[in-house]
Structure 1
Amino acid sequence: MFKRTAAQALRSRRLYSRISCTAQAARARPARSVVIASSAAATAGLLWYSFSTTIHNDAIITPKLEDISKPVQKASASSTGVTEDDGSICAVVWGSNQYNVINPNEPAVQRVQCPVNSSWLKDVALRDLALHERHAACVDARGDVYQWGDGFFGSSSTSKSESQGPKLTLRGHDIIQLQLTESRLYALSASGKIYVIAANAEQQQNLPPKPLPASTMSWWTPGWIWGAQGNAIDFAEVVPRQKLGWGEQFVSISAGRNHLLALTSSGRTMIHPMNKNANAHGQLGLRKFDIPNPSSTDTVSPLRIHVELVPRAVADPFATASPFSRSASPSVPPSVSTNIDGIDDQHIRFSDALFEIPSLQGIKVSQIAAGGRTSFVMTDSGRVLGWGANEFGQIGLGGNMTLDTIILPTEVILSRNVPGSVRTRCIDISAGGDLTCFVAERTDGESLEYVDILTCGNGQWGGLGNNLYSNAQGNPVRAKNISGLREYNEASRTMSPIFPHAISVSPTGHVLLTLDTQAHGGPGGLGRDLVAWGTNHDYQLGTGKRSSLPVPTTLERPEGGRFILGQRKALVRDLAGNVWKKRVEVEQCAVAGYGNSIIYWKIK
């Protein structure tokens, strides 16, 4: 009886507990529903914000204190080089604009993150354009030279916030090619004459006290050129010391940091020393030459001073060695003649002549190229000779070459990594800074020919294009993604190699290469693909990021699609704004500068 009563009480207690739990759950259900509904609404709002807002994974830019007022310009609506409103041609720029070189009309913009159209070259097609670190220059359709940049205007610029557009400095000489150095501008005319003017506007105004009549002016005498606003621009003509042949003239020039190479129409190579450091690394290929005596009063036939510039490695072979390895000689012979100690080598008239390289006499050269401290020539048979600085292997003499200075032209072998049955011929050389690119055409006589892009030198930031970061490469290596390419040839109905149309090597370590993908494409060909690689600290590769690329990569436009350089017929104006011609055939050309890049329309 007692057990039955206890069991009934226990069942009653369990039933009461279940009823109580059910009642509590019923009371808690409305509150829990509110919480669930609120969570669902918050989740939906978060998902909507995530899909509607684009989050970029770019590197965070930490500006300097002095650069806070100079923003970074990002992508615009178009980067085709053609304006959207009226279809006019214009330039495309990206990279560093610290010295107002690539976009002088917008001095407040220090960097351009992605390729954008720039209106300062609207309706303007050029013969040539050259970029330096602090200044730039171009040749318009009429053959006149314009200069701009903070390095050109210098202290004459009233304010860094005011735009300083291109200024006319050299007019009426039909210029076709330009080369820039830190302090000089060299211009080659269509008639084969080479002129030099200062890279700074103030130095261009340092005119001689009294101009000479035209009848008494010799080949070395300073000339007078009337620039904008009637200002006289001081200049000089650089002429060869050796007499040229009948009808022979200069057809190409290439400048390094302190020397200039010049090529004549008959294949002769000449060198021009700019200053006392012109042969510090043996890049002249000679030691002895002469310069005009600045104190001479004879303006027709001035006295000459004989100069000898000895390469530093020859004057002091133990300059970079440890004190234990140095010789016991108490004194080191000077590398520069002491008779020119008091002469200003920064003036444009320090040297007024070109000298033929003795070791290249009798060798017909078809192309010249100057790196920062190196010199290259390509013979008419496709062989390459190089000399100058070689501490990074930039001449390409092989991994076993340990000399950091090559004082005589030495052949560069481009067939080390291919079988002996394969014939190799160099068809183009491009050099900039401590980096060199060779374009080698290979064939074995049986299979189809192909083209390799070979690089050597300082590839610390990926400039070699072989997917490695190496600061010294003496043996030319094959660049990936752009070597051995072929396309279908509509005319011959076979596979043909894709040649590079143009290569621009920046002195700071990035490369822009234009593939000639239109040569065999037939009527459906659109243009030429633009490939970039190397250092990217200032967005100079146009990828929108600051990470360097060790492999050649096809550049893409910010609005989508491959970056293809085109050709067209357009109305062309000069930089003064006057119409030059209508329906002119022009093509886009890419130039790699000091931490920046620009694409301009070039007259074909």
Structure 2
Amino acid sequence: MLSTRCASRTALHTPHAPRLYRHLSHRPRARPQTRAATHAYAQRRQQHFVRSIATVAILGTAATAWQWYSGDSIFREVHAEEPPKEQEPARVQEPVFEAQRRAATSTEDNRDIISSQHLQVKRSWENPGVYAWGSNSGRVVAPDSQSDFVKSPRRIPFFDNLLLRDIKLDRSFGAAIDERGDLLQWGAAYSKETTQPTHTLRGKNLTSLAISRDRIIALSSSGEVYSVPVSQEEQRTGPKPETTSWIPFWGSSSNISYRIRTPSNLNWSERVTDISSGLEHALMRTSTGRVYSFASGSQDFPGKGQLGIPGLLFQNRPEGAFDIPHEITTIKGFPISKIATGDYHSLVSDEAGRAFAFGDNSAGQLGFDFNAEAVHVDAPSLIPTQRLYAGTAQQASVTNVFAGGNTSFLTIESSKPRPAAGETERTTADTWAFGYGLTGQLGTGRWIHNQNQPVKVPAFSGLFEYDEGNSSVIPIRLAYISVGASHAAAVMDNVASVAIAHTTRKAKHQTDNDVNWGRDILFWGNNEFYQVGTGKRNNLSTPTYLQPLDQAAEAERAAGVFAGLVPGKLAKDGLGEFHRFQITPRQKVRVSGRSVVMEQRVECGRGVTAVYSAV
């Protein structure tokens, strides 16, 4: 009905329309008087009406066809734009099931062709250094650049072919420990005139770092704890401690200002083995499982309970320096194995698999229900992790704690204490998150202001893999999580293989097709400064993979895999797919002609991220 009506309407606009209009609009003839005449008259009118309708339809169809052919039809506006008349017809591209691969020139070249992961592992050994990305407002991730952002991983040239013991990054300053144990600093907060890392604290054999708002906390191999100001000016003008020597009556002043914050009441064989710092406070764990806390910043004294000392405020602190260490005695009977700090809160776990939290709980980062009348918890309180597995008949044990910003994470392993007859005992590894997650830093796929009950992170929970070495199915655990102010990265402890060293010799059990592969690493959270590393600025609430750090090497590998193909054609044909970034696990290799044990590690800071070669 619609097509006939439209065709009739179109016919009225043709050159023949006026004649047709007059034909259909003539005056009716006089009605006959007899019945027979009336019947004949009705038949003639019916036949005339049918002929009229047929004529209208034929003319309308002819007019529509003419307008369509001439390109003037009003109905053609709804269709897509026509291709040019002279354009060649599109060729149907046949699917490529298997392109011809170029011939390998050597055994190692064959491995590079087979696996992108093998190439990544090999390049991490051949070219150690630091990749960094994110905010560059403080000239930290790219000291020699004036760009405000670094959108994708970029090497810091100063660290090329260098191995580091640790690195910590903030938007305004960076700190690292080189292979000799000396402290390096850079960034605008350190010095606006300095354009590359500079040695500051030397000769202390430092092993690890933690940073607060304006100070660097460093731990030495002997267990000494140092508090160093970030500012170069303060290092020059502040009080400098006396250094001692094994030669009697021989001493001198240090060339920079710093404070020693090692607890004074340690036992004879006890020493500090781990440190962690928030914006205003720091925790120290000793070899016997004791925990100390102290003020790690110079601007503000911790006042949100994060020190773990009930009732301790700036006004009633003990006599002496404001940053003197205090032992957290409420957990003295629980040997602590792990410590972690966020901006204003703290987490610890003991050897028995229990977790305690204290400090700020305004976003639920302690794992307790929010209480407007008691936002801060100033004494370590047990996190009820067993109720997370209520009704499963499984016994849960906390294996590690992680924190950063206003977010916290727990890794928990659970298993049935007494498996039923014929049931195989299986351990499940899960990761739980709680706290602030409005920009995706919980990693649970949700955007939420306050997550005061631990929620499972699906990407890192209940995963298993087959271990060929042991011929068994094992849980995939997390090696560690690096938590920044609002984003994070997790390195999975999946089965890796780095048995093929970069050498011309081949072990007896190896074949030409054996390759190395590393550990999976995923990123998520706030991406305001491109710190997640995807090259885009959208936040991610679900952990995701990145492309390989060395994009030039990956592109070269993809371009050379298939004979006669170039990178542009590879991308067009879908053959140049890039693999995901895998981080290299710890392995003994040869670097610059010497044998070292090294690995790649990730560090998430305040709006910045780094992956570095660590010893």
Q: Same fold (TM over 0.5)?
A: yes
1:550 aligns with 2:541: yes
Where do 5+ consecutive residues of structure 2 fail to align?
Answer: 1-65, 71-80, 93-115, 420-424, 500-513, 555-577
> Higher Cα Rg: structure 1 or 2?
2
Match of 1:267 in 2: 289
Where do 5+ consecutive residues of structure 1 fail to align?
Answer: 1-24, 30-35, 48-76, 158-163, 226-231, 289-308, 311-334, 341-348, 573-578
SS in 1 for 2:470: coil
Q: Determine the C-alpha separation between the residues in 1 that align with 2:409 and 2:171.
A: 21
SS in 1 for 2:448: coil
Whether contact under 8 Å (1:439, 1:451) holds in the other structure is yes
Match of 2:315 in 1: 336
1:203 aligns with 2:239: no
Whether contact under 8 Å (1:452, 1:479) holds in the other structure is yes
Q: Determine the C-alpha separation between the residues in 2 that align with 1:478 and 1:153.
A: 43
Q: Structure 2 matches for 1:268-417, cutoff 5 A?
A: 268-274=290-296, 275=298, 277-286=300-309, 309-310=312-313, 336=315, 350-351=321-322, 353-398=324-369, 403-417=374-388
> Structure 1 residues 78 and 563 mapped into 2: Cα distance closer, same or farther (>3 Å)?
closer
Match of 1:541 in 2: 532
Whether contact under 8 Å (2:583, 2:600) holds in the other structure is yes
In structure 2, what residue type is equivalent to 1:587? E
| Greater share of helix | 2
Whether contact under 8 Å (1:89, 1:570) holds in the other structure is no
Match of 1:39 in 2: 84
C-alpha distance after superposition, 1:319-375 (max 9, x if no partner): xxxxxxxxxxxxxxxx735999xxxxxxxx953531111212232111111111111
Q: Determine the C-alpha separation between the residues in 1 that align with 2:137 and 2:407.
A: 24
1:467 aligns with 2:498: no
Whether contact under 8 Å (1:491, 1:520) holds in the other structure is no
Q: Structure 2 matches for 1:104-503, cutoff 5 A?
A: 104=143, 106-154=144-192, 156-157=193-194, 164-208=195-239, 224-225=253-254, 232-241=255-264, 243-274=265-296, 275=298, 277-286=300-309, 309-310=312-313, 336=315, 350-351=321-322, 353-398=324-369, 403-420=374-391, 421-445=393-417, 446=419, 447-503=425-481
Match of 1:512 among 489, 504, 509: 489
Whether contact under 8 Å (1:372, 1:432) holds in the other structure is yes
> Structure 1 residues 364 and 186 mapped into 2: Cα distance closer, same or farther (>3 Å)?
same
In structure 2, what residue type is equivalent to 1:424? A
Whether contact under 8 Å (1:81, 1:90) holds in the other structure is no
SS in 2 for 1:151: coil
Whether contact under 8 Å (1:96, 1:595) holds in the other structure is yes
> Structure 1 residues 86 and 414 mapped into 2: Cα distance closer, same or farther (>3 Å)?
closer
Whether contact under 8 Å (2:284, 2:293) holds in the other structure is yes
TM-score normalised according to structure 1 size: 0.70
Whether contact under 8 Å (1:174, 1:190) holds in the other structure is yes
> Structure 1 residues 109 and 223 mapped into 2: Cα distance closer, same or farther (>3 Å)?
farther
In structure 1, what residue type is equivalent to 2:206? I
Match of 1:345 in 2: none
Q: Determine the C-alpha separation between the residues in 2 that align with 1:209 and 1:519.
A: 47
* Per-residue deviation, 1:256: 1.0
> Structure 1 residues 484 and 167 mapped into 2: Cα distance closer, same or farther (>3 Å)?
same
Whether contact under 8 Å (2:467, 2:495) holds in the other structure is no
Give the count of matched residue pairs. 465
Q: Determine the C-alpha separation between the residues in 1 that align with 2:358 and 2:480.
A: 23
* Per-residue deviation, 1:96: 1.8
SS in 2 for 1:240: coil
In structure 1, what residue type is equivalent to 2:304? H
* Deviant stretches of 4+, over 4 Å: 41-45, 77-86, 207-218, 337-340, 398-402, 519-525, 567-572
* Per-residue deviation, 1:419: 3.0
C-alpha distance after superposition, 1:101-128 (max 9, x if no partner): 1222x32232222234443321111111
> Structure 1 residues 213 and 593 mapped into 2: Cα distance closer, same or farther (>3 Å)?
closer
* Per-residue deviation, 1:418: 2.0
Match of 1:529 in 2: 520
C-alpha distance after superposition, 1:371-400 (max 9, x if no partner): 111111111101001100001000112468
> Structure 1 residues 142 and 402 mapped into 2: Cα distance closer, same or farther (>3 Å)?
same
Whether contact under 8 Å (1:81, 1:89) holds in the other structure is no
In structure 2, what residue type is equivalent to 1:361? K
* Per-residue deviation, 1:463: 1.2
* Per-residue deviation, 1:470: 0.3
Q: Determine the C-alpha separation between the residues in 2 that align with 1:143 and 1:202.
A: 23
Match of 1:8 in 2: none
TM-score normalised according to structure 2 size: 0.68
Q: Determine the C-alpha separation between the residues in 1 that align with 2:286 and 2:241.
A: 34
In structure 1, what residue type is equivalent to 2:584? G
SS in 2 for 1:562: coil
Q: Determine the C-alpha separation between the residues in 2 that align with 1:276 and 1:594.
A: 18
C-alpha distance after superposition, 1:178-205 (max 9, x if no partner): 1111211111000000011110111100
1:561 aligns with 2:579: yes
C-alpha distance after superposition, 1:146-197 (max 9, x if no partner): 001111114x45xxxxxx1110001111100111112111110000000111
Q: Determine the C-alpha separation between the residues in 2 that align with 1:554 and 1:81.
A: 15
Whether contact under 8 Å (1:81, 1:91) holds in the other structure is no
Q: Determine the C-alpha separation between the residues in 2 that align with 1:405 and 1:93.
A: 35
Whether contact under 8 Å (1:381, 1:425) holds in the other structure is yes
SS in 2 for 1:197: strand
* Per-residue deviation, 1:427: 0.7
Q: CA RMSD in A?
A: 3.7
Match of 1:595 among 592, 596, 607: 607
Q: Determine the C-alpha separation between the residues in 2 that align with 1:115 and 1:550.
A: 21
Q: Determine the C-alpha separation between the residues in 1 that align with 2:82 and 2:366.
A: 72
> Structure 1 residues 86 and 206 mapped into 2: Cα distance closer, same or farther (>3 Å)?
same
* Per-residue deviation, 1:40: 3.7
Percentage of matched positions with identical amino acids: 29
Match of 1:101 in 2: 140
